[in-house]
Amino acid sequence: MEGGGAGGGASQETGATVGVRIHQSRRLPDFLQSVNLKYVKLGYHYLISNLLTLCLVPVMGIIIIEASQMNPNDVHQLWLHLQYNLVSVIICSAFLVFGSTVYIMTRPRPVYLVDYSCYRAPDHLKAPYDRFMEHSRLTGDFDESSLEFQRKILERSGLGDETYVPEAMHFVPPRPSMQAAREEAEQVMYGALDNLFANTNVKPKEIGILVVNCSLFNPTPSLSAMIVNKYKLRGNIRSFNLGGMGCSAGVIAVDLAKDMLQVHRNTYAVVVSTENITQNWYFGNKKSMLIPNCLFRVGGAAVLLSNKAGDRRRAKYKLVHVVRTHKGADDKAFHCVYQEQDGAGKTGVSLSKDLMAIAGGALKTNITTLGPLVLPISEQLLFFATLVIKKLFKKNVKPYIPDFKLAFDHFCIHAGGRAVIDELEKNLQLLPIQVEASRMTLHRFGNTSSSSIWYELAYTEAKGRMRRGHRVWQIAFGSGFKCNSAVWEALRSVKPSRNGPWDDCIDRYPVKVVS
């Protein structure tokens, strides 16, 4: 019996081994094919990207050889010819100088990101999952169905236990008021600005342009006026206050500041991006309006931009492109994120079921414009080829999705929610590490609206991943419906600034987010 048992075991082992070998032999060609395709594609990209250089090298070689074989008398004759045509030389030189001057005077001025600061709320404002649900139950505003809905949303949201809600929401019952909303705005904006001025040593009087964006809270005087009053900014400052423009307004604010920096020389622009929750908490039972309660949290960022040539040496980034897409002409897109009153007269922001489909359409339009500006020519040729085959030959060809990983080193996807990050990771074929900053920002700070892309950039810096020449793609979605992109280039290997939002917790990240 023992011999039979041993023999049976050996037989089973042999069979298992053969099975593994057969399985491996079947998979080996597929593996080799994928490896070959990978290197073929890499070779193709290298060839196309360096085609001009590869063509110029032989031409330059021929010119050098020909020049080395020239007779000294020929060189002398050429010099004499130029002397006899002095007028032509002077005219050509004048045109060259004039053209160079016009180009230098009219070319877009570089816009530098000197530094930025993200607000981190005090610990007593943290809203752990259990406390959030208990607080929602004690308020008495939500029925059992709404409480269960919020519980499910929170479980799947990707938010951790350290996000923040404003002071007024920690009371039972909550105490939303104009004064409390002003206090929240002051804490966030002044907290970010104080840290920004301290880190850059820029005096408030040096600021020539101020752009503030906050979608849902627009008091009188405005938020920009509050900042002017607090820091005693100069009387001729160009100040702007953007309201109702959603989570993508941070990129819009940067774009506006960039345009102003093209007009006004040698000055600084400050962009403040925030959202206000105190007066915009929903206390009803309409499901589509309860989602923002579960996702939006306290946060804000202040960004210092400059068009001074001298600031290039200390700046972190240079602004390369801004691409804005607005789908507001379509009724479905216009209403997919909509502030309104429910049947009981309670105000909230309603999120449509079509939101992800509309966001996908806006993204497609945005990257169609952005692609030719940033993608290598090799990717553009592949995209164009599939388009031609589909249009001219009526072939059912799957659309070619450009590899944006060839254009960007880092991705800052607006942390609007887990579904948003999942969709972009899938559609853009990104790697987990490339969406890590977005997922971890959502986990640690929640959806901080237009400022979330700055928390993500701060995460990348805190991890020590930003190197000179790296390109960053910030992409955000917002009501309207809008999809906006900003592209930055690192001017040096960037280290995190003092008092950054990740200072006390970066060593704990990334964390595993429960599905």
Active site residue 326: yes
Task: Kindly list the distances between the CA atom of residue 275 and the CA atoms of 69, 103, 187, 212, 296, in Å, as whole numbers in the listed order.
Answer: 71, 41, 12, 10, 9
Active site residue 414: yes
8 Å CB contact between 513 and 443: yes
8 Å CB contact between 301 and 116: yes
Of the listed 213, 410, 412, 484, which one is catalytic?
A: 410
Of the listed 118, 214, 247, 336, which one is catalytic?
A: 247
Give 3-state DSSP helix, strand, coil % of the chain, rounded to 5: 55, 15, 30
Active site residue 124: no
Active site residue 264: no
Of the listed 326, 412, 470, 484, which one is catalytic?
A: 326
For residue 173, say if its preceding peptide bond is cis, omega within 30 degrees of 0.
Answer: yes
Of the listed 195, 241, 293, 447, which one is catalytic?
A: 447
- Angle subtended at Cα 367 by Cα 365 and Cα 368, rounded to the nearest 5 degrees: 60
Nearest to 150 by CA among 165, 132, 175, 125: 132
Residue 490, CB half-sphere, CA atoms under 13 Å: how many?
21
Active site residue 294: no
Of the listed 443, 470, 483, 484, which one is catalytic?
A: 443
For 81, which DSSP code?
Answer: H
8 Å CB contact between 169 and 281: yes
Of the listed 195, 414, 470, 483, which one is catalytic?
A: 414
Phi and psi of 295, rounded to 5°?
A: -105, -40
Residue 121, helix vs strand vs coil:
coil
- Angle subtended at Cα 140 by Cα 134 and Cα 146, rounded to the nearest 5 degrees: 75
8 Å CB contact between 214 and 223: yes
Tokens of 409: 């080193």
Kindly list the strands in the beta sheet with 238-242, ordered across the sheet, starting from the edge strand earlier in the chain: 238-242, 207-213, 268-274, 300-306, 112-118, 317-326, 482-490, 471-478, 410-413
8 Å CB contact between 339 and 9: no
Phi and psi of 109, rounded to 5°?
A: -75, 140
Just list the catalytic residues.
247, 326, 410, 414, 443, 447
